[in-house]
Amino acid sequence: MLYIVGTPIGNLEDISLRALRILGEVDFILCEDTRVTKKLLEHYKIKTPVISYHQHSDFSKTDYILDLLGQGKDLALVSDAGTPGISDPGGKLIQAVTDKFGEDVKIESVPGPSAVTAALSISGIPTDKFIFMGFPPHKKGRQTFLKKVIKSELPVVVYESKHRIIKFLEELKGMEKAMRDDEENKEKFKELASVVVCRELSKMHETIYRGETEDIINKIKDSRDDQKGEFVVIIGK
Task: Give the residues lining the site for ligand SAM (CB under 6 A).
Answer: 9-10, 79, 81-83, 86-88, 114-116, 159-161, 198, 200-203, 230-232
Give me the torsion for CA of 2, 133, 15, 123, rounded to 10°.
Answer: -160
Strand partners, 195: 211, 235
**Which helix (H) or strand (E) is 4 found in, with range?**
strand 2-5
CB of 50 to ligand SAM, least distance (A): 17
Nearer to ligand SAM, 69 or 232 (CB): 232
Nearer to ligand SAM, 182 or 232 (CB): 232
Residue pair 190/180 in contact (Cβ under 8 Å)? The answer is yes
DSSP-derived 3-state class of residue 32: coil
Per-residue burial over 97-109, b if 16 or more Cβ lie within 10 Å, else e, is beeeeeeebebee
CB of 191 to ligand SAM, least distance (A): 26
Q: Rounded to 5 degrees, what angle do the CA atoms 198, 200, 205 make?
A: 110
Nearer to ligand SAM, 127 or 185 (CB): 127
Nearer to ligand SAM, 70 or 91 (CB): 91
Nearer to ligand SAM, 142 or 180 (CB): 142
CB of 197 to ligand SAM, least distance (A): 9
CB of 70 to ligand SAM, least distance (A): 27
The residue of the chain with the least Cβ separation from ligand SAM equals 82
CB of 102 to ligand SAM, least distance (A): 27
Count how many residues are written for the chain: 237
* Gap between the Cα atoms of 173 and 69, Å rounded: 49
